[in-house]
Structure 1
């Protein structure tokens, strides 16, 4: 797969004491949607700022497109929104984008193409100041796409939007990705990453806790919901099974059984039946991204 961005042992220390990015390394491959996930202050925006050449790194390295281009030239193939959309309020959407085209020496023909892509072609003659926050964000995305970038970088793209605006941005990200553009977005919203990203980098206090596919993060052993007419005996029997890690007693007299090794529902049911236990309830569930994220970030 073609490598878009390689980050190697990246560090950023502010004022000789705040270690904002700690030895972070990961790669971004063409055609995927990557999320940098972490709470506020985890180093997401600093990492993006470094690779976009607006924040100086302390140590480590990064290279665009296998290092085949100088950073200045490589960034011409990158579209990015890392701050609030900033256009002239008394100019129309079309006029604002034409100004960007003029500055970046991009053909004006791209303006309508990108306005149509982000669903604003019908509002191209409307002044920017009349736009909702969600429309302003979509116009910013259109602006970042004018040069047909190979990768689009978005920092908290749905921040401050209402539910309708959030859905529009998420649908737009999926549409852009489906057309072959690689996307890297930073977010503190688990739901956002789970719904739009194929890969995720989890940061906490500048340290990388996980890097890989979203499915890979979710493909843990999961847990079972169980119930019988004698949960005390059920619990004692379960604790003797080698694949079971822990058991919690939850609502409605159910046992939540967490695994340390792979175990299928039919295997567990057979094991309990052979021990003389008939189950009233048996459901296997997968941990949500939220549960996985909390497990990662709560570790010391």
Structure 2
């Protein structure tokens, strides 16, 4: 598989603080990668290093085949790592013309990219009249002007209302569907679960997980249970080889599986032991539950 970015044993220290520690992962062409972690986990620092904005302390990274200088490689990268910064008194089209001149690309892409982000009908409106979501969408259009092989976004939906968040996520999916590789940093589990194919989970600069999102959430799931004989039910689950642990909240028992077990078989076993359920739902573990388990155990 063709690699776009390879990071090896990357470390960044700010004085006594280690922001990124011995980080390694590879981004392959055509996927949507999420760097997921709480604030202060090293996401923005990692992006800053590969974009030559922040100097690394140790380790290495290379773009594409490794034979291209970072300066030349960045010509094939589109990135938004800070709040959109355009001239407020100029229209969207005028602002993008300026970006084209700076990037040395033709003006013929402007309308096409404005259409991608749903702003073509607002191209003659001044930037100062745009909502926060529209400003972010214009920034994405600007990052796409050079038809980049990879689009890098740092917290792309930060501060947006639910409608704005939905619009940005749909745009990201559309861009990815056309073959552009995407790397986005986010502290929102929901964002990564809905948008990304792969995820790197960071905590305090350390990688906790790296791989496919669907593999991260391919656990055996859990049962949500209610029963009038709660004590007997809990004792039965505790002695059952298929369960790892349970939690109880306001009469609802959540029993986590460590191996496959169908709800039909489980219900039958309970019935044969004189335990009748009033509520039984089988669920898959969400990325959030997986993430919490990862960060709790480290």
Deviations 1:106-153 (A, max 9, x none): 111011111111111111111111111111111111110000001000
Where does the alignment leave 5 or more consecutive residues of structure 1 unmatched? none
> What is the correspondence of 1:1-300 to structure 2 with a 5 Å cutoff?
1-15=1-15, 17-251=16-250, 253-300=251-298
Number of residue pairs aligned between Structure 1 and Structure 2: 298
Partner Cα distance (1:145, 1:72) in 2: 18
TM-score, length basis structure 2: 0.95
Partner Cα distance (1:113, 1:119) in 2: 10
Partner Cα distance (1:247, 1:172) in 2: 40
Where does the alignment leave 5 or more consecutive residues of structure 2 unmatched? none
Give secondary structure in 1 for the equivalent of 2:232.
helix
Deviations 1:2-32 (A, max 9, x none): 21111111100112x1100011111111111
Deviations 1:193-227 (A, max 9, x none): 12111111111100111111111121112111223
Contact 1:151 1:182 in 2 (8 A): yes
Give secondary structure in 2 for the equivalent of 1:134.
helix
Structure 1 moving runs of 4+ over 6 Å: none
Give secondary structure in 1 for the equivalent of 2:54.
coil
Partner Cα distance (2:36, 2:237) in 1: 35
TM-score, length basis structure 1: 0.95
Partner Cα distance (1:23, 1:94) in 2: 43
C-alpha RMSD over aligned residues: 1.5
Partner Cα distance (2:23, 2:262) in 1: 36
